[in-house]
Chains A and B, each alone.
Chain A
Amino acid sequence: MPDILSAPLVVEFPFTRSLGPVQSAFLTGLRERTVLGVRTSDGSVLVPPVEYDPKTAEEIRDLVEVAPTGTVTTWAWNPAPRRGQPLATPFAWVLVRLDGADSALLHALDAPGPDAVRTGMAVRIRWAAERTGAITDIACFEPGEGQPDTRARPHSGQFAEAVTGITAPARLDYTYSPGRAQTRYLDALAGHRTIGERCPACRKVYVPPRGACPTCGVPTDEQTEVGPKGTVTTFCIVNIKAKNLDIEVPYVYAHIALDGADLALHGRIAGIPADKVRMGLRVEPVWAEDGRYPDHYRPTGEPDADYDSYKELL
């Protein structure tokens, strides 16, 4: 058993989201150092605000302004901040009920240590120097006296140049490992060989192998070399150039049944005019120098395969 392959895999995506009227008012308000909540039908004030009452599911739009000061309702000391979290130095996660609100907001509290934090302590917002209309416009909370008499005041929710959307970038780091069957396949490809795996029940040879027969649901553990020659079972002519692709159009993309395989894999056909490619064409792989997979397939010059020999593989 060769060592299992593994490689770093980074998934990064900027999620662009549009905001409804309530979220837009709240996030625009943060940009203007104003904290808005929403009043529910039973009169309680939710901060951060939501568009539907969590108890009745009624649509709610009654915006109010609350204070930038509040009370910690629960906390957790985080001695080792992780990437993306609000502060790079140890801090407390806190739920804070802002003065005038009845629900609590999750954020970070900048404090010297866990002994300086307690449930019920008074805190105030520390605003970010640059604000864009995002929850991170609150840089964090810091200890500070509250305004216990503060009541929520009606607010129109209207601001100049309202924020209507946010972009939330996400990045997750993985170590990808393809497992036993695909490691064997990739290792063989590195030696310019193609291996499939045979199902012990139906005897079909799968390529690329994934370790299981999708028909029988049993492991495919008998390796067998297939190809290198094969037969075009079907194909299409690509006329539109994809972004960042340095292959000239038109080109032919085909399903190729390698000799000895019971499943066609796909590849590009070159070395023949696109309009001369046909079902049954016999082809062989062309490897680029140091290539870990065939760059393309080209005609072998053999007579075309008989239709009956590949009709089950279409």
Chain B
Amino acid sequence: MTRDQRYPREIAIVAFAQTDHTRSSAELSEVEMLMPVLRQVLGQTGLHTGEIDFTCSGSSDYLAGRAFSFTMALDGVGAWPPISESHVEMDGAWALYEAWVKILTGEAETALVYAFGKSSPGELRDVLSRQLDPYYVAPLWPDSVALAALQARTLIDAGETDERALAGIAARSRTAAQDNPHAQLRGSAAPDVLLEADHLVQPLRIHDTPPVSDGAAAVVLAAGDTARRLTDRPAWILGLDHRIEAHSLGVRDLTDSPSTRLAAERAGLFETGVDTAELHAPFTAQEIVLRKALRLDDTVRINPSGGALAANPVMAAGLIRLGEAAARISRGDSDRAVAHATSGPCLQQNLVAVLEGEAQ
């Protein structure tokens, strides 16, 4: 199957930029943090803000503690005179999905998608607990690390991993991030050394958890010949889909991710091989779940960027997976890649994209 048959239009990621992700960017407002990234991503294509047909962003007010914080960031995209614009209170990967649909329907030829998250103003573990079921779960204030630890325990109990294997995932990811100038954590001690640390929430140690990050990212999407004009090697979106699990953790099998599998199937992943995977697995054990759901074997290079274990700007980390996968295709380091984004506790929502570069 070619990409022309699956969808009415060819659409590609043609540019990607991200900040250097840091523990705190307190000196910058959100728009100040975001603006250099927007300049860079537009600069890669030669487009001006006024030439973009559709703009879509992802962010969350709960990170900054201010209502409508995304409207401030709009100053960075030149929103006057009025532009066609939308926002999702989700990771920017879902903003990319909205922009992709906008182009598919013929409403736009080009789209700018950006996402930002400043985790530093608040206590991220507590902040994320406010996205949980407000009747039965949120009143108990279970934090994000605790919920990930429950998932890790189910995998260990099922014999699918152990604490040493999880340390290996952390070490491999952060060692890979040594080649990523934007990553926050670059390099790692050996797994044996990591295992000497105390547990944060047992069975997870600090290395099993993502860094708390501030950062932003942006991509440009374009259709057909516009994409070919804007870049030498567009990262064509062969398929894109997102799915969700039942919201109650207690009805789910936490060792599996049927929503990821279904999204991957609908995105066409199982019809075609990939050489690279950018997985949004903020916690080490989640990589085990995703590898299984996406049927990735040892021939696939997993998270050469270091993934979310190396930098996790909340609301941007998923969009970065799509951007990193696309950038590898554009550079010629990959011919076909799968990118995954997640949102919510224990891989609640999952988005899968299959990207491809033309034969070199």
Interfacial residues, chain A to chain B (CB-CB below 8 A)? 4, 6, 9, 11, 15, 17, 19, 23, 27, 46-48, 50, 54, 73-79, 82-86, 93, 95, 97, 103-108, 114, 119, 134-136, 166, 168, 170, 172-182, 210-219
B140 touches A108 (CB 8 A): yes
B247-277: which residues lie under 8 A (CB-CB) from chain A?
248-251, 254
- Cβ-closest 7 pairs across A and B: A179-B29, A217-B78, A76-B149, A104-B250, A84-B141, A54-B246, A77-B202
Q: Check if B289 is an interface residue, CB within 8 A of chain A.
A: no
What residues of A have a CB within 8 angstroms of the CB of B199 in the complex?
A: 77, 79
Most A CB contacts (10 A, CB to CB) among B31, B130, B152, B250 go to B250
Question: Which single member of A74, A114, A176 contacts B150 (CB below 8 Å)?
Answer: A74
What residues of A have a CB within 8 angstroms of the CB of B139 in the complex?
A: 84, 134-136, 166, 168
B254 touches A76 (CB 8 A): no
Q: Check if B298 is an interface residue, CB within 8 A of chain A.
A: no
Q: Check if B138 is an interface residue, CB within 8 A of chain A.
A: yes
What residues of A have a CB within 8 angstroms of the CB of B125 in the complex?
A: 82
Binds A, one of B2-10, B68-76, B177-185: B68-76
Among residues of B, the one whose C-beta sits closest to the C-beta of A219 is: B35
A19 to B140, CA, bound (A): 18
Shortest CB–CB separation between residue A154 and chain B, in angstroms?
A: 21
A46 touches B251 (CB 8 A): yes
Interface of A is mostly: mixed
Among residues of B, the one whose C-beta sits closest to the C-beta of A114 is: B202
Q: Check if B64 is an interface residue, CB within 8 A of chain A.
A: yes
A105 to B126, CA, bound (A): 20
What residues of A have a CB within 8 angstroms of the CB of B149 in the complex?
A: 76, 93
B122 touches A179 (CB 8 A): no
From known contacts A177-B121, A217-B76, infer whether A95 and B150 are also in contact, taking CB-CB under 8 Å: yes
Among residues of B, the one whose C-beta sits closest to the C-beta of A47 is: B250
From known contacts A50-B248, A85-B141, A212-B35, infer whether A9 and B121 are also in contact, taking CB-CB under 8 Å: yes
What residues of A have a CB within 8 angstroms of the CB of B49 in the complex?
A: 216-217
A168 touches B138 (CB 8 A): yes
A179 touches B138 (CB 8 A): no
What residues of B have a CB within 8 angstroms of the CB of A108 in the complex?
A: 140
Among residues of A, the one whose C-beta sits closest to the C-beta of B77 is: A217
User: 1/0 per residue B28-52: CB within 8 Å of A?
Assistant: 1111100100110000000001000
A83 to B135, CA, bound (A): 18
What residues of A have a CB within 8 angstroms of the CB of B201 in the complex?
A: 76-79, 93
B26 touches A6 (CB 8 A): yes
Shortest CB–CB separation between residue B256 and chain A, in angstroms?
A: 13
Provide 17 A-B residue pairs closer than 8 Å at the C-beta atoms, listed in order of the A residue: A54-B246, A84-B141, A95-B150, A103-B248, A104-B250, A106-B136, A168-B139, A172-B126, A175-B120, A176-B121, A177-B26, A177-B27, A180-B29, A210-B31, A211-B35, A214-B79, A217-B75
A105 touches B250 (CB 8 A): yes
What residues of A have a CB within 8 angstroms of the CB of B38 in the complex?
A: 217
A10 to B210, CA, bound (A): 25
Question: Which single member of A9, A85, A211 contacts B142 (CB below 8 Å)?
Answer: A85
What residues of A have a CB within 8 angstroms of the CB of B81 in the complex?
A: 215
What residues of B have a CB within 8 angstroms of the CB of A179 in the complex?
A: 27-32
User: 1/0 per residue B328-342: CB within 8 Å of A?
Assistant: 000000000000000
Shortest CB–CB separation between residue B151 and chain A, in angstroms?
A: 8
Among residues of A, the one whose C-beta sits closest to the C-beta of B246 is: A54
Among residues of A, the one whose C-beta sits closest to the C-beta of B61 is: A11
Question: Which single member of A6, A103, A175, A181 contacts B251 (CB below 8 Å)?
Answer: A103
B78 touches A213 (CB 8 A): yes
Question: Which single member of A4, A50, A93, A103 contacts B26 (CB below 8 Å)?
Answer: A4
Q: Check if B196 is an interface residue, CB within 8 A of chain A.
A: no
Shortest CB–CB separation between residue B225 and chain A, in angstroms?
A: 26
B150 touches A135 (CB 8 A): no
What residues of A have a CB within 8 angstroms of the CB of B137 in the complex?
A: 106, 135
Additional 20 contacts, C-beta under 8 A, given A82-B143, A95-B250: A15-B134, A46-B251, A47-B250, A84-B139, A97-B250, A103-B248, A103-B250, A107-B140, A166-B135, A172-B122, A172-B127, A174-B121, A179-B31, A179-B32, A180-B29, A212-B32, A214-B79, A215-B78, A217-B75, A217-B79
Among residues of A, the one whose C-beta sits closest to the C-beta of B121 is: A174
What residues of B have a CB within 8 angstroms of the CB of A105 in the complex?
A: 136, 250
Among residues of B, the one whose C-beta sits closest to the C-beta of A217 is: B78
B72 touches A210 (CB 8 A): yes
Q: Check if B62 is an interface residue, CB within 8 A of chain A.
A: yes
Question: Which single member of B79, B122, B198 contacts A174 (CB below 8 Å)?
Answer: B122
Q: Check if B242 is an interface residue, CB within 8 A of chain A.
A: no
From known contacts A177-B27, A179-B28, infer whether A93 and B136 are also in contact, taking CB-CB under 8 Å: no
A107 to B79, CA, bound (A): 46
A83 touches B251 (CB 8 A): no
What residues of A have a CB within 8 angstroms of the CB of B150 in the complex?
A: 74-76, 93, 95, 106
Shortest CB–CB separation between residue A16 and chain B, in angstroms?
A: 11
Q: Check if B187 is an interface residue, CB within 8 A of chain A.
A: no
Question: Which single member of A180, A215, A218 contacts B28 (CB below 8 Å)?
Answer: A180
Q: Check if B104 is an interface residue, CB within 8 A of chain A.
A: no
What residues of A have a CB within 8 angstroms of the CB of B142 in the complex?
A: 85, 93, 106
B135 touches A54 (CB 8 A): no
Q: Check if B153 is an interface residue, CB within 8 A of chain A.
A: yes
A105 to B104, CA, bound (A): 42
What residues of B have a CB within 8 angstroms of the CB of A180 in the complex?
A: 27-29, 32
Among residues of B, the one whose C-beta sits closest to the C-beta of A17 is: B134
B78 touches A216 (CB 8 A): yes
B140 touches A135 (CB 8 A): yes
Q: Check if B192 is an interface residue, CB within 8 A of chain A.
A: no
A182 touches B135 (CB 8 A): no
B126 touches A82 (CB 8 A): yes
Shortest CB–CB separation between residue B261 and chain A, in angstroms?
A: 16
Shortest CB–CB separation between residue B24 and chain A, in angstroms?
A: 9
